[in-house]
Chain A
Amino acid sequence: MSSSHAHSAHPPSAVEDLSKPLHERYHAASHFKDREHEFDSVKMGVWLFLATEILLFSGMFCAYFIFRLMHPEAFIGGGHHLEVKWGLINTIVLLMSSYWVAAAVRHAQTGNQKWLQINIILTFFAGAAFLFIKFFFEYWHKIQVGLLPGKFYHYTGHADPYEPMWWGVYWGATGIHASHVIVGMGLFAWLYFRSRKGHFGPGHYNAVEGVGLYWHIVDIVWIFLFPLLYLIH
């Protein structure tokens, strides 16, 4: 107890109005001036973190472009194995989820607890739907026919000798993206349980805002991955 509260310089007032919801009783950590100061700092931290995420993926994109230049036939041949249908559906799913998460932030700002929770749940299930489509309709099929990365590759119908490398890039890029979606779903589950306890409202919605920004980045990365992997032949 002592260590975690050691920084609380604003001692809780002797008589706290327990009838107020939690988000109104929220105190910023003691090294901040007030809630707004904390909110600004958190937001800046999240943006910096997102910058690192973008740089992480840009390394992946960079590899994609370099190998595409080196082995264009392999990338065209590999891309033909992907079904645009599922890529498109997943794009729509993610775009809708982006809308829902934006709405969640909006409802947190206005204190609409019911719709806040509904939107968080919707986003969570959009993420789940994305993963379901990815794993069940796409990955599963590729695992069965042997379109796997590197040494697990045992598909026999490829035309270009370097097609296995395309699958290395495909699995690498979509795998890292999918792992971000999984992390995002975990965060939405966490948000949901906190929102049920009334943690978020007009005065305090740092976490909703931060996770929302993260989810937008996950979405944007997919917006780039979709044409690069599925559409450009």
Chain B
Amino acid sequence: MTMTLPTTLGQQWLKEYFFSSIGASSQAADTENLFIYILWINIISFVLLMILLVYFVAKFHRSKQATNYQVSAAHNTPLELTWSIVPLLVMIPIFYWGFTGFADKLAAPQDSEEITIKGKQWKWSMFYRNGASPQSDEMELLHTGQKVTHFIVPLNRPVKFIMSSSDVIHAFYVPDFRTKMDVIPNRYTSMWFYPQKLTDMTINPITGKPKNPPHKVYCAEYCGQDHSEMGAYMSVVPVKEYEDTIRQWTDYPKTITLLKVGEAVWSRKGCNSCHSVDGSKSTGPTWKGMYGAKHSYTNGESDKLVDENWLRRNILYSQERILLHEDDNKVAYPTSMPIFAGQINELEMEGVILYIKSLSDATKAAAENAGKITVQEYRDKEKAAKEGGTAAPAAPPAKP
């Protein structure tokens, strides 16, 4: 910024009052400063106007008509020009700082930590670069028994959210960072910030409240019934803890079976927003009976069998084959599926393929049998295979 905002009188106190918390990033501080600057302009102009108003009403009240009621000028061009131009001049810096702050909030640095955010009535889901999703839904935003997602961002690293919605328009709003952005179906929007304050749950002895509690996240664009419950908590943690946590989050409890992992992937990764498992219609084809079926695609393949390789390849690079409708050869589902390469790990891939297999009658029994092994057993096998130098349990993606 070439022009820096002046620090105004009572800055700290006014910020405490109007924002209830001090912003958690440098952009937030800029926005607050601009807010307080406009606030002072407001207060000064308003008080001046009201002093004049009250003074005139007192001085020129009808009861004083005999002495004070007089002919005065009906217009005064210099005066009128002054009060047209002065407000304009006052507004120019407001506009300028508003614009620079806006640009600052839009343009994320290249090295940002990217987190994918999905909005769906009425829940936020987050996906980290390794495919991890937050697994602790333990916190309540409102006292209504509804648990919200609690996710983390790294300290002192630019964080960029890449957002889209799977139904209606939402808006991702983090009041403590003084920014928000609409989350729109079939389109990606983004926002970013630079967290500079660690979340700190230790109790402040004076106020009796946590020193720096997790940031609240709201949905700011009206989205229906539980719009007010569509929140989340966001904690800022040190980079080391961040990396450890998201690694942990890709993991599944050691005792659950692979089939359960597949089922968990279906809901955690957002597959459920487009693919049903009971045969009902949705944005994408249902998984029920998908395995073993034959389909035609826009890339010229026809009557191609859906098998393990097919599934693996299509989950990773979904844009290669666009399904055609059986009857009329037109594109069956106009909405395209996101690419999952890099978003899903081997364990999850194994699990979800087994899960899809278990939804077709012919392969149900076999899949359920194969899916009986637990995550622990799978890991052991993986380890053994690595140590023994044998091939990894899962085949690499087949070439198209």
Contact = CB atoms under 8 A, between A and B. Distances in A.
* Whether chain A touches chain B in the assembled complex (some CB pair under 8 Å): yes
B239 interface: no
Nearest to B335: A161
Given A156-B327, A156-B329, A161-B331, 7 more contacts: A156-B328, A156-B330, A157-B328, A158-B330, A161-B330, A161-B334, A162-B334
Interface string A86-121: 000000000000000000000000000000000000
B300 to A, nearest CB: 14
Nearest to A159: B330
**Which of B328, B329, B330, B334 has the most chain A CB atoms inside 10 A of its CB?**
B330
A162 B334 CA distance: 8
Nearest to B334: A161
A191 B327 CA distance: 53
Contacts of A156: 327-330
A97 B166 CA distance: 51
A162 B329 CA distance: 14
Nearest to B324: A161
B258 to A, nearest CB: 36
Contacts of B327: 156
9 contacts: A156-B327, A156-B328, A156-B329, A157-B328, A158-B330, A161-B330, A161-B331, A161-B334, A162-B334
Contacts of B328: 156-157
Interface in B313-345: 327-331, 334
Contacts of B334: 161-162
Contacts of B329: 156
Nearest to A165: B334
Contacts of A157: 328
Interface in A162-211: 162
A227 B334 CA distance: 29
A157 B334 CA distance: 16
A158 B331 CA distance: 9
Count chain B CB atoms within 10 A of each CB in A158, A161, A162 and give the residue with the most: A161
A115 to B, nearest CB: 55
A71 to B, nearest CB: 10
A161 B331 CA distance: 6
B327 to A, nearest CB: 7
Nearest to A146: B328
A158 B325 CA distance: 12
A156 B328 CA distance: 5
Contacts of A162: 334
A162 B331 CA distance: 9
A162 B330 CA distance: 10
A156 B332 CA distance: 11
A161 B329 CA distance: 10
Nearest to A154: B328
Interface string B369-393: 0000000000000000000000000
